[in-house]
Structure 1
């Protein structure tokens, strides 16, 4: 059991868990509820990404991510709902500002500002602890492995889109090359001579002999 002192509030008794199947850390706070921390599943980090560019993620509760989760935290009588993403840079700089939701008559409503501030303070303390653990890099790898099927599907779709664009670009490139070659051949053939019997040039002086104009 861990103990956290967050702001001027009472000390928090916290049990820590790590799920290496999904790459998430869960913190169960006594008399409050659970916070599940990890990386944003839709913007998960690449293996070579700078850690400070990571988008982190908190879910208010446990289990599959949804709006109303199991073990949802309750702060100041408000049950938190949903999930939120935040940058690691904001966390490290002390600039984290979370705005959790609550559920009122089946409608999502932002939690009061006091609840949001307390939520932010607790999540910030838990996230800093989580990121400082020696096993967190392996948890990150577990997250990457968990997201790999989604990544593969996404990148395969993007590759197919780009291959189609490349095919069209190759077609356009070949067409434009053909037209450029045609224009080059026209230029190399030189100006078109005026054939005998052709009408005069529209801007030729009226007294210019037709034979002279024909030679132009």
Structure 2
């Protein structure tokens, strides 16, 4: 079948869906394979961020920038790795797109501006076709099902961390409440009133000072000499 890109480029394509991973592989005639799916590192509630892998099959970590099987060749530029894209930001131009070409098994560089413009137009055409298929939502559910064990493990890890934190806070809260009750009881008891049989205070007078000091039972007049 053929699709037409926003810039009028006609692409002859075939595609196949992977209902285990929730991905679609587009084979573009005389160009190569593009694998479209949702970005696996996006938040669980992010249903919009996509990833396009250039070529098919897995890659070895040490050969990450080596071309995959059926890697697209765009006017002499072989694409490697992948691009993360957001359909809502795929506007005219190519500023939203980052893509790389291999210069060694472990090295890559950004493609040229001209190649980026061509690739942006092609991706907009493929993504528009992909999102408007009647099976698109079912494919999305397949992707979410495939990612669910990973997300569940992440949620359970966070639950354990938050539970430990909540227990620590609950213990500190109990301590503070107990200490607050002690202070509240002291306030409720009111000021201390001296007993009725308390002996009169001893008035100490110093000839050099006018202040009286109540410290005991008997009056004492100090002579500085």
* TM tier relative to shorter chain: 0.7 to 0.9
DSSP-derived class of the 2:70 partner: coil
2 CA distance for matches of 1:6 and 1:29?
16
Q: d(CA) in 1 for partners of 2:189 and 2:115? A: 82
SS at match of 2:126: helix
Q: Is the 8 A contact 2:78 2:101 kept in 1?
A: yes
* Larger CA Rg, structure 1 vs 2: 2
Q: Which whole-Å CA distance do the structure 2 matches of 1:72 and 1:206 have between them? A: 102
The number of residue pairs the alignment matches comes to: 200
Question: Following the alignment from structure 1 to structure 2, what is the Cα–Cα distance between the partners of residues 140 and 125?
Answer: 19
Q: Whose helix fraction is larger, Structure 1's or Structure 2's?
A: 1
Relative to its length, the structure with more strand (as a share) is: 2
Query: Quick check: 1:76 aligned with 2:75?
Result: yes
CA RMSD in angstroms comes to 2.9
Match of 2:211 among 207, 212, 216: 207
TM-score when normalising by structure 2 = 0.77
Q: TM-score, normalised by structure 1?
A: 0.80
Q: Which blocks of at least 5 consecutive residues in structure 1 are unaligned?
A: none
Distance 1:44 1:62 in 2: 25
Deviation for aligned residue 1:209: 4.8
Distance between the aligned counterparts of 1:13 and 1:32, measured in 2?
Answer: 10
Shift of 1:70: 2.0
| Structure 2 CA distance for aligned equivalents of residues 187 and 94 of structure 1 | 72
Map 1:38-187 onto structure 2 (within 5 A): 38-43=37-42, 45-46=44-45, 54-64=48-58, 67-68=65-66, 69-91=68-90, 93-94=91-92, 97-105=96-104, 106-187=106-187
